[in-house]
Amino acid sequence: MLQTRSRTMLTRSARRITARNAVKVGGLRHHSAAAATAESFTLPPIALPAQSFEHTRSPKPLIKDALPFSAFLTDNHSRQHTYLRISITEKCNLRCTYCMPEEGVELSPPEHLLTTDEILKIAEVFVGQGVTKIRLTGGEPTVRKDIVQLVERLGRLKEKGLKELAMTSNGIALARKLPALVKGGLTHLNLSLDTLDPFKYQMMARRKGLEAVLKCIDTALALGVQPLKINSVVIRNVNDAEILDFVAMTKDKPVEVRFIEYMPFDGNRWNKEKMLSYQEMLERIQAEYPTFEKVKDHENDTSKTYRVPGFAGRIGFITSMTNHFCGTCNRLRITSDGNLKVCLFGNAEVSLRDLLRQPDITEDKLLETIGMAVKRKHKQHAGIGNLEHMKNRPMILIGDGMRKTKLQFERRLRSSFTAFSAYIPVGLTYLPFTPALSFARAYSTKQPPPPAGEKLTHVNEAGHAHMVNVGDKQETKRIATARATITFTSPQTLALITSNSLKKGDVLATARIAGIMATKRTADLIPLCHNIPISKVSVTLLPVSGSTDQVEVECTVECRGQTGVEMEALVGCSNAALTVYDMCKAVDRGMRVDGMRVVEKRGGKSGDWREGRDGQLVHDHKV
């Protein structure tokens, strides 16, 4: 009886607030077929284990059912949000310099992430309120094992009003999955590609893969995927010289290349000098193509679109830093850990995941939380002078929980809802961008200090060095990665290396081979090391992104054995760095090798660990 009364009061209060919001939005009436289908809230194929939404209705239809567009998705600036971006994973198979911090990111425990059913449930709720476009993002969506099945199930929402099902991908592993995805309902595709040069691609992405992306573009065009957009983040003195090469790509390919102003995210070492403005990019293109002309943009477009007359494709500019498009923003974001993020650059979030996992959750309660978050969306994000100093997620973790956003039902809404004790997520009780918000991850676990009684394993009770007996240890897969940085006294040294102009030859290739050779001789060089059957050695030497005088050396060693390969990784890394020193000392006697350390170790009794963002070792799930 009490529960029924609370529901009735909730419904009446929702009517009053919805009616007031309807007045605020000025009676905007863009009809969505989905809004009229709120009766059937549960999508038949979707079922959350051990719970389902209890859809409560009053004898009279709710005002939200009668309105042409949901007041819950309309903010206080009359913007109607019809576009939902859902991050379905925080993992990625690249390590792009502008997206992921150099030291990687700490992954959430699996139980903190949205399940497939929760993703589908959230999508269904938003489509039911008028969302017509859903975009799947990450991380990298294609690393998710059930990506094809997820797209197929989301595709069924077209029967309830969904019109566009899109995906943003780096294209590395997409080509072979694309036919099934298109068949399952994928309608739009954005591919990330920042350079057409193989060496520069490896430098920016910290991985190889350019050929796979180009193949993916051809596959998408062959399947008739339109529009096909290519997103390119432009960074001064890194890839800005390729702007005209991308424009030339549109001559024969019906693609839209979109140049994105370099944006600040946590860990990407952003500074204003690296950013190339939209106006400067435009001037460069117009100097080469005087007939370069503006194309009429669609409503809510994020990019300013141009074309070269006679070319098959188009060029777009995403100007988040110098000329924001906040006034027409119709986007909301769901992070992979279930947080609703109303602005890409905002740091205020609220967890829908925790709401979904409440045993007594109803659609009305979920919509109230969504509506309150949307109402708090600012008219526009902070300006360029403030964005660079604001704390925000790394770009890769616009699908991850970076702050303590676990829903706490500790703060009650001091309004008409108090009568029935409706609880408000703590994220909605603070104004965005205030110091009261905490951005520490609540569930990362740093490596504890060693126990007081722990002893060195290579020293016996008499204090003499001895070789540890590993005969009784379990044979497992072992991986270790070591890293160091070579700093030159002049940018000229790095220029000579990258142009292969030194008298001794190809420095990076020679150092790579030297690192591999040294790894295999570790037991001969380090007295107490075991002779290990190494299965793989990978040595990379790449210029540090944004620097003109540094090269990063990384050595990863794998084996299946009874002891770890940390020493092998360190020896390989150090010998590769010393080889660079040897080959460059004639032109740079003051260069130095710094920061030699193990940054990641997997397998063995001590478990998996790696170097965290603050330089401390953390036990966590691996990226």
Q: Which of 77-81, 251-255, 263-267, 579-583 has the lowest mean pLDDT?
A: 263-267
Count other Cβ atoms within 10 Å, centred on residue 61: 12
Residue 264's pLDDT is 60
Higher pLDDT, 303 or 228: 228
Residue 453's pLDDT is 52
Over 90: is that where the pLDDT of 575 sits?
A: yes
Residue 35's pLDDT is 37
How far apart are alpha carbons 570 and 526 in whole angstroms?
A: 11
pLDDT tens digits for range 485-499: 999 998 899 989 988
Confidence of residue 273 (pLDDT cuts 50, 70, 90): confident
Q: Which of 4-13, 149-158, 454-463, 501-510 has the lowest mean pLDDT?
A: 4-13
Mean pLDDT of 572-600: 95
Mean pLDDT of 346-358: 87
Over 90: is that where the pLDDT of 134 sits?
A: yes
Residue 76, token pair as written in the block: 């206080």
Higher pLDDT, 545 or 467: 545
Mean pLDDT of 146-172: 96
Please answer whether residues 481 and 597 qualify as being in contact, where contact means their C-beta atoms are separated by less than 8 angstroms. no
Mean pLDDT of 238-258: 95
Catalytic site residue 506?
A: no
Task: Give the DSSP per-residue string, 132-154.
Answer: -EEEEESS-GGGSTTHHHHHHHH
Task: At 392, give phi and psi (nearest 5°).
Answer: -145, 170
Residue 325's pLDDT is 59
Mean pLDDT of the chain: 78
Measured CA to CA in angstroms, residue 191 lies from 299, 483, 619 at distances of 22, 30, 33
| Ramachandran bin of 279, using left for φ above 0, alpha for ψ from -120 to 50, beta for the remaining angles | alpha
| Ramachandran bin of 267, using left for φ above 0, alpha for ψ from -120 to 50, beta for the remaining angles | left
How far apart are alpha carbons 403 and 441 in whole angstroms?
A: 5
Higher pLDDT, 600 or 22: 600
Over 90: is that where the pLDDT of 232 sits?
A: yes
Residue 22, token pair as written in the block: 């309807």
Confidence of residue 563 (pLDDT cuts 50, 70, 90): confident
Q: Within the chain, what is the greatest distance between any pair of CA atoms? A: 88
Please answer whether residues 105 and 400 qualify as being in contact, where contact means their C-beta atoms are separated by less than 8 angstroms. yes
Mean pLDDT of 351-362: 93
Residues of the chain with pLDDT > 90, as a percent, come to 48
Q: Choose the catalytic residue: 65, 582, 594, 620.
A: 582
Going across the sheet that includes 534-543, the strands are 445-446, 617-619, 609-611, 592-602, 476-487, 550-561, 534-543
Higher pLDDT, 211 or 13: 211
Residue 328's pLDDT is 79
Mean pLDDT of 544-573: 91
Residue 536's pLDDT is 94
How far apart are alpha carbons 94 and 213 in whole angstroms?
A: 12
Please answer whether residues 74 and 18 qualify as being in contact, where contact means their C-beta atoms are separated by less than 8 angstroms. no
Residue 262's pLDDT is 81
Residue 458's pLDDT is 58
How far apart are alpha carbons 484 and 204 in whole angstroms?
A: 18
Mean pLDDT of 507-531: 91
Mean pLDDT of 550-561: 93
Confidence of residue 213 (pLDDT cuts 50, 70, 90): very high
Residue 623's pLDDT is 42
Distance of alpha carbon 241 from the chain centroid: 26
- Identify the DSSP state of 470: -
How far apart are alpha carbons 318 and 133 in whole angstroms?
A: 19
Residue 385, token pair as written in the block: 């002078």
Confidence of residue 339 (pLDDT cuts 50, 70, 90): very high
Residue 17's pLDDT is 43
Higher pLDDT, 219 or 105: 219
Residue ranges and CATH numbers for the domains of the chain are 2-428 (3.20.20.70), 476-619 (3.30.70.640)
pLDDT tens digits for range 6-65: 444 444 444 444 444 443 333 333 333 333 333 333 434 444 444 444 444 444 444 444
Residue 302's pLDDT is 78
Q: Which of 10-24, 317-331, 453-467 has the lowest mean pLDDT?
A: 10-24
Mean pLDDT of 380-391: 46
